[in-house]
Structure 1
Amino acid sequence: MPDTTPAITKAEKLNTLYLQSKDCLQCSLGSTRTNFVFGEGNPEAKIVIIGEAPGAEEDRLGRPFVGRSGQLLDKILAAIGFSRDDVFICNIVKCRPPGNRNPQKDEIRSCLPWLEMQLKAIEPKVLLLLGRVAANTLFENNESMGSMRGRILTWKGYDVVVTYHPAALLRNPNWKYPCWDDVRMLKAQYEKLMKEEQG
C-alpha cells in the first residue's frame, strides 16, 4: 500500500524544533535571558544568515537582528534584491550573553545542535556568516576575517560566505565596501546554485 501520510513541511519542522528548544536550560544563559531568540524568516529559504548571539534588543523582543545592526542588515539584503521574507536569520547561540560578551565554549557547545537542526529542517543552499565569532565557531578555527572572507567556503556540505557583522560595520564604515563585495559574491553563488538546481 502506498504511504498516504502527508509530508511534514519545513515550517512544521521548524515550529516543532522551536517548541522543543524555547525552554532550553542546557547552559547558564537560559537563566539570564528575557527571551529565547530562535530565529525567523522563510522556512523555505535558500540562504540562512547566522550571527553570533542576540543583543539587548533581540533579547527584549525575542527576534534576531532588530536593533541598529538589524536595520543595516535589512539594507544590505535589499541592495542584493532580498528581504527578510526571502531568508532565514538566526544566531549560533539563542540567548543573550550578559553584557553582550562573546559566547563561551560551553554555551556554544550546548546551543550548536539547535542550529544544526534548524539547518537540517530548512535545507538552505548558502550560509552567510556575520562576523568573526560566528565564522570561528563553525569552522573551529581562530583565523582572521581577512583570511576567511572573499571566497566561497564549505561547512558540512553548505556553501558559506563570511562577512563583517553589521555592528562592526556601524563602528567601521570603511568595511562596508568589502562587505558589499562579499554579499555580491553571495548573490552570484546563490544564482549559480539555483540555476544548477533547475537544470
Structure 2
Amino acid sequence: MNLELLAAQAKACVACALSRQRTHVVFGEGNPDAKLMIVGEGPGEEEDLQGRPFVGRSGQLLDKILEAAGIPRTSVYITNIVKCRPPQNRVPDPLEAKTCTTLWLIKQIQIVRPQIIIPLGATALEFFAGEKLSITKVRGKFFEWQGIKVFPMFHPAYLLRNPSREPGSPKHLTWLDIQLVKKTLDELGPKQGVEIKAIQQDPLF
C-alpha cells in the first residue's frame, strides 16, 4: 500500500455523512517519507474547493510558521483528522472522527512513519492523547504515541483570532514551539521503522 493508492480509495469513501456535501476529499499532501507530520481538524471551505489541506488563511499562516523555523512545507506531510469538510466548519463529531481516523489517518501514519507528529488544535490532540485536553496546558511538551513523538500546537486559525505577538501570547508561544520542533528534528537520527497498531472501534509570521 502507498499513499497514492490509499488516496484513490479515500476519494470514493462514503463511510460517514460528511461525504454527502463535500466538493473534494482532502486526503493530505507532502513528503511520503517525512520525518514530521502535521494533523489538523478538518478541511475548510478553500480546502474543500481545492482538494488540498491548509491552503486557506490558516494554511498560509502555517506556511509562514514553518518557513520562519526553516522547515519547508514540502518536507513535511500534512493531513487532517477528517478528510471531508464538516458543514459550516463545525467540529467533527466523535463518530465522524473515529470513522475517518480508523479508515485513513492510521494508514497514512503507517505509510509515512513520521518521527514527530504535530496535532494542531483540540480535535487532533484528543485523537492522539485519547482524552480531551487543553492545548494551552499541554503545548510546548512532547508526549509519546505508539513510539512517535507528539507535540501539540495551537491551530493557525486560533492564532488568526489572537494576532498579538506580545510575550506569552499564542503567536509568541507558537514561535517558541516551532523552534523546539526544528531543534528536535535536527537532533533525530535517520528514521527508524515503527509499527503503528490499528485503532479499534513569532517574529516572522
Question: TM-score with structure 2 length normalisation?
Answer: 0.87
Partner of 1:96: 85
**Aligned-residue CA RMSD (Å):** 1.4
Map Cα deviations across residues 44-103 of structure 1 (whole Å, 9 max, x no partner).
111001000000000011000001111100000001111221101100100000000000
* 3-state SS of paired residue (1:44): coil
Query: Which position in structure 1 is the counterpart of 2:74?
Result: 85
Identity of aligned residues (%): 46
Matched residue SS, 2:2: helix
Structure 1: how far apart are the matches of 2:163 and 2:154? 11
Query: How much does 1:38 deviate?
Result: 0.4
Count residues with an aligned counterpart: 186
Tell me what 1:4 maps to: none
For 2:200, the equivalent position in structure 1 comes to: none
4+ long deviations beyond 2 Å? 194-197
TM-score (norm 1): 0.89
CA separation of 1:195 and 1:61: change in aligned 2, threshold 3 A:
closer
Q: Per residue, is there more helix in 1 or in 2?
A: 1
Larger radius of gyration: 1
Which consecutive residues of structure 2, in runs of 5 or more, have no partner in the other structure? 165-169, 193-205
Question: Which deviates more, 147-156 or 120-129?
Answer: 147-156
CA 1:30–1:173: 2 relative to 1, 3 Å: same
From 35, 59, 67, the equivalent of 2:24 is 35
Question: Which one is further off, 132-141 or 84-93?
Answer: 132-141
Aligned 8 A contact 2:42 2:81 in 1: yes
Mapping for residues 181-192 of structure 1, pairs under 5 Å = 181-192=176-187
Deviation at 1:138, TM superposition (A): 2.3
> 1:148 is matched with which residue?
138
| Cα distance in 1, alignment partners of residues 73 and 163 from structure 2 | 23
Query: What stretches of structure 1 of length at least 5 have no aligned partner?
Result: 1-11
2:199 match: none
